[in-house]
Amino acid sequence: MFLATLAGLVVGVVPGLGPITAMALLIPFTFSMQPLSALLALASISVAANCSGAFTSILLNVPGETSSAATCFDGHPMAKQGRATVAIGLSIGASFFAAVIGVLVVIAIAQPLVTVALAFGPPEYFALAAVGISLVAGLSANSATKGLMMAAFGLWLSSIGVDSVIGEPRFTFGLLELQDGINLVPVMTGIFAITEIMDWMKERGTISRLGRIEGSVWQGIVETFRYPVALIRSTFVGIGVGVVPGVGAVAASFLSYEIEKRFSKDPSRFGKGAPEGVIAPEASNNSAICAGLAPALTLGVPGGATSALLLVALTVHGIRPGPMLFTSQPSLIYGFLVGLIFGAVMFLIVSVMCARALSLVTLVRAEVLGPIFLVISFAGVFAQNQQFSAVIVAIIFGVVGCIAKAFDFPAVPLVLGLVLGRLLDTSFNQSLAMSDGSWMIFLTRPISGSLLAVAAVMVAMSMFARLRRRKSAQIFAGGQD
Amino acid sequence: MTISVEQYRSALGSAIISAVAVVGFLAIYLGAGSLGQEAAFFPRLVAVLGGMSAAIALAESCYTVLTAKPDAQRAGSSDKGTWTDFFVSYGGPPLYGLMVFVFGFWAASAVGIPGLLYLLGERRPLFSFSITGGTLLIIYVVFDLCFDIKMPGSFLYEIMVQR
């Protein structure tokens, strides 16, 4: 478990290389292991990689994992203020708490959680994806229209490839590489890592503007528990979103971030190094991954790629996931879930030991960091599916990211569109097929109707907040005149 | 209304990007016409949403460009660095990608890292070569030895051999 945790930490901090690659490569090595040891090794990699993905988000503004993208918003500004170790401490504290609570919730109420998951049909999935897209307005600080434009671009990118319902190729331009669609990892690496590297090389200097590191990792861990409401709320938002198969930790982290921003007494602190801005996405993405285990173990329906790989490992060892798993193999399943908590403890120890050393990267000159991370990012992107086309996609989106940054077009809505687009498209078509083409299916079903109402309220709230900001700015300008 | 030169440039750039986006979303809408009715619905919906947002963003940016006056005296972020810096920073990564395609990962990186360091002002050869060696060693250990992922050779060479 220690070695798996260490391996998870390494793959978590390398952009492009994630738990999915590491787990997929490790599965053949687990054939000769006892089932419990095999599951624990894979789960430790997953826990450590998901938790440590935040480290590069904080230190370099480059998400190590897709689910850590929202951590960049406040984690990196803290690193710029010389508080990198404190931010890492916040992410460790939140990840640890959420992982433990997430596992305990799965142990305690796996069956009721699955009932919630079963209540979700295509219209509910569509409505949930619509809630995710409604976050765009809030995540586009300066211009909602630019945010919507970028989200639409992301949604279009998600429609590239063979359509999952009808099976018709769309916008592939005859290229075989585009048949499977646009992979998220090269887009993320391009838009975050390559863009950031280009900026480092141009701006120079060190990431920590102070030229030193202040605070300690323990200070961050302790500070996490000074925000109990944000911590608990985000953990349970993660569990709620994570239990629904296919939505995943990425949507959960953005949703929690936006919720904390909305509930904050002073939302203007967000994006400038607010501790809740690190706690919320980290707590929710880790609890979402743990909650995703409930439908995976009891229904055989994976909540995401990592739980799908755990299912593969279970099947390889002759264990069939299903409602009876908790009663037919109690020692294995409960041993595995308790082992996950030990995995989280192991991660806590290893990451506390490494945090200070990792933070030193914020004191290295950007002109040295740039070439190093450029090469590592390219290697990480190529490692995903070992095709050069992924590298080309990363370069293209690096340039897109640079142009977007230069002219104040937010990049996050593009990623959100790409993540949620396929779910939105597939569930929309399936819903209409269920209702013989009637759009009323989205409104007449209680869960989908309520979720769509939540989406409408979120859009209305952000528009209202924007109008109020504009009005107060005009009053301020008038007062100055 | 007066704005800084940087804000004026940003509004002008936004207007150009938004105009390109309007055309792009229109092309997506028309391109979806060649698809079946069910497959075309989602891209068309996205094209309408994107086209409308791009049109509004274009109008907003054009309004700023036409009504505001750029004032050199107003505070704004000033451009740092020279044109060489600009080309190295933004042209370096795509050029490195091209080098990987032509020469393969290891050769391109062995030349690319010290080359970029030199262009960015690092003149200590021992330091540059230690950074290069260290980075490539880490990549070799993590990717090749631990995960058995082979970094790419020259794709150009492969294409030429296949022909």
Least confident of A113-117, A138-142, A396-400: A138-142
Helices and strands counted in chain B (H then E) = 6, 2
> How near does any CA of chain A get to the CA of B116, in Å?
6
Tokens of B152: 């790419």
CB half-sphere exposure, A98, CA atoms < 13 A: 42
Using CB atoms, which residue from A145, A159, A375 is nearest to B53?
A145
What is the overall mean pLDDT for chain A?
83
Q: Is the pLDDT of residue A43 over 90?
A: no
Question: Which positions in chain B touch A202 (Cβ < 8 Å)?
Answer: 80-81, 85-86, 89-90
pLDDT band at residue A245 under the 50/70/90 scheme: low
Question: Which positions in chain A touch B57 (Cβ < 8 Å)?
Answer: 143, 145-146, 149
Compare A270 and A64 and report the one with higher pLDDT. Answer: A270
What pLDDT digit, counting tens, does each position of A370-416 carry? 899 899 889 888 887 788 888 999 999 999 999 998 888 888 889 88
Q: How many angstroms separate the CA atoms of A413 and A151, rounded?
A: 5
Best B46, B48, B145 member to test A by mutation, with max A CBs in 10 Å, is B46
Domain ranges of chain A: 2-480
Q: Are A22 and A47 in contact (CB under 8 A)?
A: no
Tokens of A191: 């838009």
Instruction: Report the pLDDT averaged over residues A428-442.
Output: 87
Q: Locate tokens 């809030």: which residue?
A: A138
Contact A202 B53 (CB under 8 A): no
pLDDT band at residue B47 under the 50/70/90 scheme: very high
Question: Which positions in chain B touch A367 (Cβ < 8 Å)?
Answer: 117, 120-122
Residue A474, Cβ density class (10 Å: 0-12 exposed, 13-18 middle, ≥19 buried): exposed
Q: How many angstroms separate the CA atoms of A458 and A359, rounded?
A: 36
Q: Are B23 and A150 in contact (CB under 8 A)?
A: no
> How near does any CA of chain B get to the CA of A113, in Å?
31
Using CB atoms, which residue from A371, A399, A429 is nearest to B117?
A371
pLDDT band at residue B135 under the 50/70/90 scheme: very high
What pLDDT digit, counting tens, does each position of A443-479 carry? 989 888 998 998 888 778 777 777 777 677 666 656 5
ipTM of the complex: 0.89
Q: How many angstroms separate the CA atoms of A58 and A54, rounded?
A: 6
Q: Are A44 and A94 in contact (CB under 8 A)?
A: no
What pLDDT digit, counting tens, does each position of B52-92 carry? 999 999 998 998 888 887 776 665 555 556 777 788 888 98
Query: Looking at chain B, which residue has its C-alpha nearest residue A24?
Result: B147
Q: Which long-range contacts (CB under 8 A, 24 or more apart) does B6-9 make?
A: B6/B76, B6/B77, B6/B78, B7/B64, B7/B68, B7/B70, B7/B76, B8/B64, B8/B65, B8/B68, B8/B70, B9/B70
Question: Which positions in chain A touch B117 (Cβ < 8 Å)?
Answer: 367-368, 371
Question: Which positions in chain B touch A421 (Cβ < 8 Å)?
Answer: 46
Contact B117 A367 (CB under 8 A): yes
Q: Is the pLDDT of residue A138 over 70?
A: no
What pLDDT digit, counting tens, does each position of A271-308 carry? 888 999 999 999 998 898 888 887 777 777 676 677 77
Non-local (6+) Cβ contacts of A309 within 8 A are A20, A23, A24, A27, A42
> How near does any CA of chain A get to the CA of B156, in Å?
11
Question: Which positions in chain A touch B60 (Cβ < 8 Å)?
Answer: 143, 145
pLDDT of residue A255: 87
Contact A201 B105 (CB under 8 A): no
